[in-house]
Amino acid sequence: MKLEEKLKSVRRSPWVFHLNSGSCNACDIEILDALTPYFDAERFGVKLVGSPRHADVVLFTGPVTREVLPKVIRALRAVPRPRIVAAIGSCAVGGGIWWDTYSTIGGFPKLQEILKRYGVEIDRVVYIPGCPARPEAIVYGLLVALGYVKQKVSKVVKTVES
Amino acid sequence: MQVNRIAAPLKLLIIAFKTGRVTKKYPFGPPLITEAFRGAISIDPAKCWGCGACVLVCPPNALDIIFEKEKIVIEYFKGRCIFCGMCADTCPANAITVTKEFELAATNLEDLKEDVVHRVSKCAVCGKPFAPAAELRDVMKIHPITEEYANICPDCRRKRTARAFGMRFGASI
């Protein structure tokens, strides 16, 4: 089965698992904010579950500290296919303020290289920048991951005329 | 007792009706954004000099300057940006503005990058590329007196000054 067909079964009601990998808790609070009645992600069937084995989407925050790395790999391995990861916040996307620290791996892109070595495939990743990401941005990112709305940003190259 | 059992939920209903609906209809309605919100920055290529002041001040190194042979590239990576707006405060040419854009979700990291490509002007004496052309253009505009030596690279300028001093004191170079 192709990924798109698999995603159709997930689309109606994506169950999310919240995975913190050494984040400062700002993004975690925003995730909880997105699930409250105020921003109400449950309109789209989003439900927070307590185990990665029940999850369709992993809400991933934090720059992946060294201490938490083996646990993160084990948690992601437990997620059933198709594995969808939403990397939330600057830390998870590009390392953030800890981009060159010795004690962190440096965000999800670096973790993905390590996961490949361990044979853990991630089917779809959606990067949601923001420090912390707004609840609306998290809802929007989830909709991009599931294919409800189109992605707005694309690579821009500006040339200076002089 | 029986009256209370019916009246207690009714009280809740009254409170709920008074408050009304609080849910934001975000993807179908306007987002909740205040005046002070800072989103992604945008660099105006018509004003940017390519001096690199924003790169020095950026805390997470989201802005990076890359020196290549014939061009200087200022690379903005939205994924690492913490949206502090320090670059907009520092920019000497006021080329950087803070927008209210926050819908930056992307499935590919390359989509989060923004490049500003500068042409490097060459030294009039030795022909070595040394500074972005836009910077020289605007410096000449602000201080017209620099026009005669702004297009010469620092090495050649040093040699020229030394030579002028030598001539002044009667040396034959």
**Prior bond to A132 cis, omega within 30?**
yes
What phi, psi does A109 have (nearest 5°)?
A: -55, -40
* Helical H segments across B20-132, by residue range: 53-57, 86-90
- Of the listed ranges A4-8, A67-71, B5-9, B47-51, the least confidently predicted one is A4-8
In this structure, of A18-22, B8-12, B96-100, the range with the lowest mean pLDDT score is: B8-12
Residue type, B21: R
Q: What one-letter code names the amino acid at B68?
A: E
A34: number of Cβ within 10 Å = 27
Residue B79, SS3 per DSSP: coil
Instruction: Name the pLDDT band for B43 (thresholds 50, 70, 90).
Output: very high
Neighbouring residues of A54: CB distance < 8 A, sequence distance ≥ 6: A15, A17
Instruction: Give helix A107-117 / helix A69-77 axis angle, nearest 10°.
Output: 70
Please name the residue of chain A whose CA is at the shortest distance from the CA of residue B121: A162
Kind and range of the H or E run holding B97: strand B96-98
Per-residue pLDDT band for B41 (boundaries 50, 70, 90) equals: very high
Look up residue B151 and give its DSSP letter: T
pLDDT per residue over A71-120, tens digit each? 999 999 999 988 899 999 999 998 889 888 899 988 899 999 999 999 99
**CB-closest option in B46, B105, B119 to A127:** B105
- Interface check A26 vs B, CB under 8 A: no
Cβ neighbours of A142 (radius 10 Å): 26
Q: Using an 8 Å Cβ cutoff, are B73 and B116 in contact?
A: yes
B119 contacts A95? CB cut-off 8 A: no
Check A39 against B23: CB less than 8 A apart. Answer: yes
Residue of A88, A100, A160 best to disrupt the B interface, most CBs of B under 10 A:
A160
Report the distance separating Cα B75 and Cα B64, nearest Å: 5
Q: Which helix (H) or strand (E) holds A159?
A: strand A156-159
So what's the pLDDT on residue A9?
A: 75
Percent of chain B with pLDDT over 70: 98
> How many residues are listed for chain B in this entry?
173
Under an 8 A CB cutoff, do B60 and A96 touch? yes
Residue pLDDT, tens place only, A40-64:
888 888 999 999 999 999 999 999 9
| Higher pLDDT among residues B99 and B4, named by residue | B99
DSSP A106-132: -HHHHHHHHHHHTT---SEEEEE--TT
The pLDDT score that the predictor gives to residue B20 is 87
Inter-residue contact A107 to A87 (CB < 8 Å): yes
Q: Can you read off the two tokens belonging to residue B22?
A: 């609080």
Closest residue of chain B to A146, computed from CA coordinates: B107
Residues 6+ apart with CB under 8 A from B148: none
pLDDT band at A146 (very low <50, low <70, confident <90, very high): confident
* Average pLDDT for chain A: 89
Res. A161 pLDDT band, cuts 50 70 90: confident
To the nearest whole angstrom, how far is the Cα of A111 from the nearest Cα of chain B? 14
Longest dimension (CA), chain A: 57
Of residues A31, A127, A22, A134, the one with CA closest to residue B80:
A127
Say how far apart CA B94 and CA B87 lie, in whole Å: 10
Q: B116 CA to chain A: closest CA distance, Å?
A: 5
What does the pLDDT read at residue B115?
93
Q: What are the structural domain ranges in chain B?
A: 35-168
CATH entry 3.40.50.300 includes domain B35-168: no
pTM of the predicted structure, to 2 decimals: 0.87
Residue-wise pLDDT tens digits, B122-165? 888 888 888 888 888 888 888 888 888 888 888 999 998 898 88
Instruction: Identify the CA nearest to B51 among candidates B89, B95, B6, B7.
Output: B95
What is the pLDDT at residue B151?
A: 86
Taken in order of first residue, the domains within chain A and their CATH numbers are 3-146 (3.40.50.12280)
pLDDT of residue A40: 87
Chain B residue at shortest CA distance from A96? B80
B115 contacts A158? CB cut-off 8 A:
yes
Tell me the ipTM for this assembly.
0.87
Contacts of A153 in chain B (CB under 8 A): 78, 103-106, 111-112
Indicate left, alpha or beta for A160 from its phi (over 0: left) and psi (-120 to 50: alpha). Answer: beta
Amino acid letter at A112?
Answer: Q
Per-residue pLDDT of B18-28, as tens digits, reads 988 888 888 88
Which pLDDT belongs to residue B64? Answer: 93
Q: Look up residue B66 and give its amino acid.
A: I
